[in-house]
Structure 1
């Protein structure tokens, strides 16, 4: 039987140029495969209990390690009381004051605080994922997750307060529970917002002026805090001989030196915040009668920590006083990043590159609002990293939150506005016909 193929005969293979010139064959759209029903997530209570318990275990273990190292610093052997002291310090890291034999303590070690907040944020991520809310975009679901973690964390704090509260080491259990509830809910809310995609939901409902202001203000605040940390490290390095003498003066040899190092690391974020307050102008106080400002320094009795060797003993001279312009410059950098982001070329869905039309008034408004945003961030960090001690007579330790926040708002906001105005003037000059 003769087939059509036999009548036509064999055809020569097309060349590569002919294949390239042939029209592309479009495959018709096919029906999508039916999606499998999503697996039911775990109950919210169970997920919150497991993830909050794990976050608590990590931060408490870090505090126990810190207390054990401190005991070795003093040349003492472990006697079983380290767990109680560590739990009390863990509550202190969440802002719950306690009364010890040396007096009332109300200064949180921010390194432990940040560790606990990070683990609580991860607990919010894992809990939202565990209940099947990943990518749901629901702000309400994120709030439920944060509330559940906050309640569990508050109950843990109340129970720990009951265990720690004893003669010689007093803690108010209900206050400890309240502090942990607030910290736990706030940190978990950040994580649950991110994993559920509710951040995009909130961003779509927020005007662009405020979106840019929040981002610019947070960036400016973080840069100022980073500058404070750099200033603290530079001051200790410049006074290395004094710091080394204090470091070697601790008992127990290597163990004592390791212990004081751990204590300095636990309070390292506090020192960075205080140095930021010094750069911003209000300054800080530490110890009995020690006041440190750019315009004047009064040195009194201080704890023998090597990091405190970097505290200046005299006001800044004319050259070093230029450091006070650092927050203004960093605010200008944040404003420049805002302009750069808004003028960045964008791609359309068709693949074309489009230069956006700048809205300078909106950018100026964002830069102005970025100042108060940065002030709130730095003020919150200052409030968390400062407090009062009562070793016979009460005295503050750290910086005044509202003064630091106000100075940060003015410096960063002014710097950002100047940067946007300069970019606007430069664009206006370049666009003028010559």
Structure 2
């Protein structure tokens, strides 16, 4: 027993480095496991879908091993990696670089969820237990507590765990008919993992604005508030760019849908000619659904003017269409306009989309300009808070630049090669789409923003004479022969600008004498009072004491009679002197 006590007493504590590793290892191991599980779930989803189509196919070209190779290759294609098809008729390997953008949603969502759960520690209530009914104080404490795992540890573990599964999957796919390009695989898969995991960690930490501000440090100081507001929300230019991109993509999808309805017979014939079995047609429909975001980007490129290419030398645009005649039948390709010069209906339909996007961008920027949303200025901050026309125009131009960058990136992702020589160009050209977006939005959004701002600032003037007329006309029989009271700076305040004192012209303080009534002249509306502080709290005060408005003064109870008659219920009834029947 003494020996045990001696050995226990001589035990030395762990070194600081070992203690730190032991403290961090559970979080790192959990993050590694979460990233590996996210990659495994993505691969399993693609494998189940491909195996189901292979089983139901009446003429399978290969065994289950080939189907699994195709599933791994499609999973890599969903990340943006380019594939190489080896079994071609000419014997020359052909690249397949058009990734269905809808497939990217599954890996991105799995990575985002894994990083968020790794940061939170996987315990919704903080200790992994259930609610024991102690109260709401513990729930509030758990919400306010920092994440259990540091952001760097969670992000690193999820990314490494995901790549640890992606590397063997790429090696396995290299043995199939669709082989991944090692350059594109080494760039796209880690990039998707880094971005999606970073977004998950950022979301788990409450979406702080510090990391975004550090990323925006390269921008000029006057431009940063337009991208990220002081309260961490997106700035005016960012919101306007997002709205413009949504209108462009929605308009492009609408053009594709209308064209498909107009060419419904050709699309149906293409579906029936492409395959005979119901399983093959179901696979084609799934592929069309996965390519819907690509079709929306292509429709937006068509509406903007540059259009898209269906092979080298075959550009489809509103001005002219030259579709390639050697393309296989495909339902989405049936929506391509016929070859020849563009019609007036094509020009009008295509031109309406960028014009609508420019108007929306200008409207959003004008809303931020009128509501005084900038740097450290609070909304409704007074005359100096409303943006001048030059600043409004610059904000609209910067929003157009952001929207052009977004459309250029989407155009680069939505297109790619589908072969060599003629099919080396398939889809929109990213720099042409970006330049066309910038030109359209600058020409439409800047004048729209300035015009809407001026209109919103002029709108309250229509109500100004009515309010001034109420001030000029004194109330009849109220305070006649009394001297008006002149307002002083001591009387200014929030309560003097609301209710009767701010709108109907009554003074908030009792009068101190008699004088003749004096009318006031309405103050000039030199700025937009509709969205400012004065529109919420009443009419604006004058800047000079001598120019302050005077009002018809009256006592608070002048409208009551001098000796009001008592109400019936205020007078007690006299006691009944008549004796009752039982009284002696």
Query: What does residue 356 of structure 2 align with?
Result: 329
CA 421–344 in structure 1, closer or farther in 2 if over 3 Å, else same: closer
- With a CA cutoff of 8 Å and minimum separation of 6, indicate the structure with the bigger relative contact order: 1
Number of residue-to-residue matches in the alignment: 388
CA positional deviation for 1:144? 5.4
Aligned ranges 1:31-430 → 2 under 5 Å: 43-68=26-51, 71=54, 75-77=58-60, 79-80=63-64, 81-100=66-85, 101-102=87-88, 103-130=94-121, 142=151, 145-166=154-175, 168-173=177-182, 175-202=184-211, 207-210=224-227, 211-287=235-311, 290-300=314-324, 301-313=326-338, 314-322=340-348, 323-340=350-367, 343=370, 357-360=385-388, 361-390=390-419, 394-430=423-459
Q: Give the C-alpha shift of residue 269 in structure 1.
A: 1.4
1:209 to 1:142, Cα distance in 2 relative to 1, 3 A: same
Give the number of the structure whose alpha-carbon radius of gyration is greater: 2
User: How far off is 1:98 after superposition?
Assistant: 2.0
Query: For 1:304-334, what per-residue CA distance to the aligned partner results, in whole angstroms no more than 9, with x for missing partners?
Result: 1111111001443223312224123212213
Change (3 A) 1:134 1:147: farther
C-alpha displacement of 1:421: 0.4
Separation in 1, partners of 2:153, 2:395 = 31
TM-score normalised over the length of structure 2 = 0.59
1:260-317 CA distance string (max 9 Å, x none): 1011112221111111111111111125754211111112222311111110014432
Please list the CA deviations of residues 153-192 of structure 1 after superposition, one character each: whole Å capped at 9, or x if unmatched.
Answer: 3333222111111274433456524321111111222232
Q: Provide TM-score, normalisation by structure 1.
A: 0.78
Per the TM alignment, residue 236 of structure 1 is displaced from its structure 2 partner at its CA by 0.7
The alpha-carbon distance between structure 1 residues 263 and 246, as it changes in their structure 2 partners (threshold 3 A), is same
Residues 333 and 312 of structure 1, relative CA distance in 2, 3 Å threshold? same
- Alpha-carbon distance between aligned partners in 2 of 1:99 and 1:220, rounded to the nearest angstrom: 36
Q: SS of the counterpart of 2:297?
A: helix
Considering only aligned residues, what root-mean-square deviation do their CA atoms show, in Å?
Answer: 3.3
Structure 2, gaps ≥5 residues long: 1-22, 89-93, 127-141, 217-223, 228-234, 374-378, 462-523, 526-584
Choose between structure 1 and 2: higher helix proportion.
Answer: 1
| Structure-2 change in CA distance of 1:388 and 1:173 (3 Å) | closer
What CA distance in whole angstroms lies between the structure 2 residues aligned with 1:172 and 1:320? 39
CA distance in 2, matches of 1:142, 1:413: 40
Distance in 2 (alpha carbons) for counterparts of 1:135 and 1:378: 38
Q: Secondary structure at the residue paired with 1:390?
A: coil
Q: Secondary structure at the match of 1:388?
A: coil
Pair 345,104 (structure 1): closer, same or farther in 2 beyond 3 Å: closer
